[in-house]
Structure 1
């Protein structure tokens, strides 16, 4: 039994939502499509999986486990009717998760379309010094970064935008120790470091990791990885690794919000055996509990959860 990490995919990122109707509507407005729903009435929660699925999408028509760039919305029954229920978006204390990011064909037109629909922004294109990125707010206050697939000067005179060309580009999480986290995601999870952005004046570095061939990287966009899906962005603020009392919030302790990222693998049993050999910390082994088709690794040193599932295109295991 063998497993090949080069066949893994960063399948999805899970966030909890208060009202699934409002959240699904928002992400569908961004061009994503509801490709799967897993109701769990006995446990009183439902899962909604959204991804770009137009004929021009990267994974058009693929099984949901054979994709990258999915957002999973988790709805616990009753939260939509609870006036006191509020999501922790990860950008106010306690911090940890940062944002999802979509890359678009025309960032000026895309942002105008979002604003015209009545959605709010944490940062508009015209705010601050960074005029090439914006941050929209979803109904729960999660940040959704918007970046362009082309330089600003190529799109500033164009008034149209086509959501069928968008990508769910990356998920950002903050990490305490960049060296430790990079080692974990590369050596244990089998990801490749695609791009590094150093901001010495800002006191932080950004690291973009993912699976797949490096030839997929485009040099045409504002970001050389803007045309991809399923990337993980690690944000490291200088000095946090030296503070023994510093800790990021994993999103699963109260107050809850972000839940996990998920990696789909070529052979679930073999992959979990490999993780065992790597001496990972587990939140849930395959053999734990009733659900024998998923496992959860704990990402050292920050404690983020990483779900592991079978890529059903490569090997049939579960009847999702």
Structure 2
């Protein structure tokens, strides 16, 4: 706010904003000082109280215990996808269900129990055999101890290899790219054994700094690292939760001078666990007011079951669903 000559805001007055813990503390600390105008002080107090009220909910992500639960996307033939993922990628079918009243089936696949691993949720909608992946979805990534062998196995089973195994440009890490039967791109990365081979989900964004700020503030993620690739004209950011800096991360990619992408109708959303979906929803609402996005479902229980969720779009239109850990109990046993 710019003070008028008739209502000056002194340096002392502005400095008061940095010495409060709550609106009540702030108001109690505001005493008139020489040079302060009553009107300017009231205006600044209103602004500060509003800022304080917003600051308290924004602390919640720092206290919340969060992790990536699963990534959801649509496929044209569920049994075909299950066969490909189990035989080519070595995943295990965790559970499968059919929901005829809503005309869809889904399957959860991964490398470990859902209570501790991020997994893939594949959805088949009755009668829909293909989808538009769009230009914004990037890829999934899987780690393996031998990329060459995995690629040979995929070829033997009729899979499509779009980049043969070999070191990354300017480095030594061996990678390859393959497509699943629906055209989703999977990056295969050769590293030593890891208990969580599902490595990352990569999405393209039009403003990387805005996206980083959104996922830090709205979802409590940490920026693990950024990588500038001027020769390839892109920058990437690796984000996730503490303890997951090598696997189960979100990779955001900004391609130089590209600010918009098509979303298609194939990729659906990320699901993230939270201890309190209502507090998490309040944080998301405040961040959306600042950075953009949209609430698509207010916090609350799903009809007929006790699972509490909220869902929203980030500033680039990518969807996230937050689920309450307390009510999220997958119906399967890991063997």
Task: Report the TM range for the smaller structure's normalisation.
Answer: 0.7 to 0.9
* 2:256 aligned residue (214, 238, 242): 238
Check whether the contact 2:133–2:267 (CA below 8 A) recurs between aligned residues. yes
Q: How do 1:44-193 and structure 2 match up within 5 A?
A: 44-53=103-112, 61=113, 64=114, 66-79=115-128, 85-90=129-134, 95-125=135-165, 132-150=174-192, 167-193=197-223
Change (3 A) 1:267 1:288: closer
How many Å apart are 1:69 and its aligned residue?
2.5
Per-residue CA deviation, residues 232-252 of structure 1 (Å, 9 max, x unaligned), is: 1111011224xxxxx22233x
Give the SS at the match of 1:272.
helix
Cα distance between partner residues in 2 of 1:295 and 1:208: 24
Instruction: Tell me the TM-score normalised to structure 2 length.
Output: 0.71
Deviation at 1:97, TM superposition (A): 0.6
Distance 1:263 1:173, change over 3 A: same
Q: Which residue of 2 aligns with 1:284?
A: 297
Q: Which residue is 1:34 aligned to?
A: 93
Contact 1:89 1:143 in 2 (8 A): no
1:297 matched residue in structure 2: 312
Which structure has the greater CA radius of gyration?
2
Any runs of at least 4 consecutive aligned residues in structure 1 with deviations exceeding 6 A, and if so which? 317-320
* Distance in 1 of aligned mates of 2:188 and 2:242: 23
TM-score, normalization by structure 1: 0.74
Counterparts of 2:201 and 2:222, CA distance in 1: 15
Residue matched to 1:270: 279
> Which of 235, 241, 245 is the aligned partner of 1:205?
235
Partners of 1:239 and 1:259 in 2: CA distance: 25
Equivalent residue number for residue 327 of structure 2: 316
SS in 1 for 2:165: coil
Measured in 2, the distance between the counterparts of 1:165 and 1:112 equals: 23
Tell me, what secondary structure is at the counterpart of 2:80?
A: helix
Structure 2 equivalent of residue 11 of structure 1:
69
CA contact (8 A) 2:74 2:124 kept: yes
Q: How many residues align?
A: 264
| Cα distance per residue 1:166-188 (max 9 Å; x no partner) | 60100011000111111101111
Provide the C-alpha distance between the structure 1 equivalents of 2:257 and 2:320, rounded to a whole number of angstroms. Answer: 25
Query: Quick check: which one's helix share is greater?
Result: 2
Distance in 2, matches of 1:304 and 1:289, equals 21
Distance 2:283 2:169 in 1: 45
- 2:141 and 2:189 in contact (8 A); partners too: yes
- CA distance, structure 2, for counterparts of residue 50 and residue 318 of structure 1: 16
Note the alpha carbon deviations across 1:116-147, whole angstroms, 9 max, x for none: 23211121125995882211111111111101
Q: Which runs of 5+ in 2 are unaligned?
A: 1-56
Q: Secondary structure at the match of 1:198?
A: strand
Q: Secondary structure at the match of 2:299?
A: coil
Q: Is the 8 A contact 1:137 1:144 kept in 2?
A: yes
How far apart in 2 are the matches of 1:121 and 1:249? 24
Give unpaired runs (5+ residues) of structure 1: 54-60, 80-84, 151-161, 218-224, 242-246
